[in-house]
């Protein structure tokens, strides 16, 4: 699985800015069989944990989170950037390298006592995923695990998420 | 199908600005069975047309496009706002009510001669979907059909897309 993913992830030097090597996951989506295997790997892991919903982080978390939710027969909840969700929202602000960002969910998206898996395509420093987990908790829910297709282990995002289990299918250590 | 969708779409008055009634599709995602029926309705229609890929428009087109691509066993291609895709891109600019926007795909996302379905959650005036279709054609591909979960028929978006077949599951005429 890890090799298959790494063979399909494309390194883009200097994106979005000089010195950063961006992991382009779009080739994983172009190959239906590769995507199917990724979704099934997550589904196998989470089937026994019986989460109530999958929370996907905008926007690449949508790409993997929706088919995972469908594979498990559970609902999908989008966590989005500030101002994107139309109904009443609850939000969490978190620090970026420069400035702040806010991530939101609808107030009725995760209910008290519900257990969810939070998913994104990639774990970097863990700022956004940590905020998404805090948001689930603010709604009275709990995060079974944070799931990522790709983890940039050398950025130690797991440390940011220390109270939440982290699972990734491919790790760049 | 149409009634089921309309029962799960939530009207949000004055979003994103006064006078607009926004169609909130997030309840369709929260109910796994409803989403499964939507995906299957699209899959049934497109199975016989044998498209090479599904092109999903950022970001709510991702939510329906990825499970549709998986149901058909074909690849998914994201069409994104300017500056979001990391690899070499091809873009099309189009007019908004005020100003312009640009939509992009990776240059290798759709190949010459490929037939695709372009999907988004909602057809309003058709500006973005029209640009996405033009983008596919600029890559040498063709659009079998533009697919939407919800159509705001009273905005006449079909007229904007007149050279491309349009299909929607629920229409507000």
ipTM over 0.95 threshold: yes
Is residue A28 within 8 A of residue A34, CB to CB? The reply is yes
pTM exceeds 0.90 for this model:
yes
Which residues are CB-contacts of B145 (< 8 A; sequence separation ≥ 6)? Answer: B46, B49, B117, B118, B164, B165, B166, B167
pLDDT tens digits, B63-105: 999 999 999 999 999 999 999 999 999 999 999 878 899 999 9
- Domain CATH code at residue B107: 3.40.50.2020
- Please tell me if residue B109 touches chain A, with a CB cutoff of 8 Å: yes
Q: Which two tokens stand for residue B90?
A: 């091809």
Q: Which of B69, B71, B77, B64 is nearest to B5 (CA)?
A: B64
DSSP, collapsed to helix, strand or coil, labels residue A112 as coil
Q: Residue B66: which domain range?
A: 2-171
Q: Which of A30, A72, A87 sits opposite B77 (nearest CB)?
A: A30
**CA nearest to B77 within chain A:** A30
Check if B60 is active-site.
Answer: yes
pLDDT tens digits, B92-145: 999 987 889 999 999 999 999 999 999 999 999 999 999 999 999 999 999 999
Average pLDDT over residues A140-147: 98
pLDDT band at residue B56 under the 50/70/90 scheme: very high
pLDDT band at residue A97 under the 50/70/90 scheme: confident
Average pLDDT over residues A1-24: 96
pLDDT tens digits, A112-135: 999 999 999 999 999 999 999 999
pLDDT band at residue A164 under the 50/70/90 scheme: very high
The predicted structure's pLDDT at residue A99: 87
Contact flag B62-A62 (C-beta cutoff 8 Å): yes
The predicted structure's pLDDT at residue B162: 84
The strand ranges marked E within A107-172 are 115-123, 142-151, 166-171
Average pLDDT over residues A49-57: 98
Domain count for chain A:
1
């Amino acid at each position: 699985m890890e090799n298959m993913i790494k063979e399909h992830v494309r390194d883009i030097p200097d994106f979005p800015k000089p010195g950063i090597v961006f992991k382009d996951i779009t080739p994983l989506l172009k190959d239906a069989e590769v995507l199917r295997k990724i979704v099934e790997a997550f589904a196998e892991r989470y089937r026994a944990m019986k989460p109530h919903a999958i929370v996907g982080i905008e926007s690449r978390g949508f790409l993997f989170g929706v088919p995972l939710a469908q594979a498990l027969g559970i609902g999908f909840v989008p966590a989005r950037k500030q101002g994107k969700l139309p109904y009443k929202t609850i939000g969490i602000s978190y620090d970026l390298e420069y400035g702040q960002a806010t991530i939101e969910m609808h107030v009725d998206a995760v209910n008290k006592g519900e257990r969810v898996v939070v998913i994104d395509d990639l774990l970097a420093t863990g700022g956004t995923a940590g905020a998404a987990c805090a948001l689930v908790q603010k709604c009275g829910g709990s995060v079974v695990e944070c799931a990522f297709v790709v983890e940039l282990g050398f950025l130690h995002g797991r440390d940011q998420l220390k109270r939440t289990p982290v699972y990734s299918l491919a790790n760049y250590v």
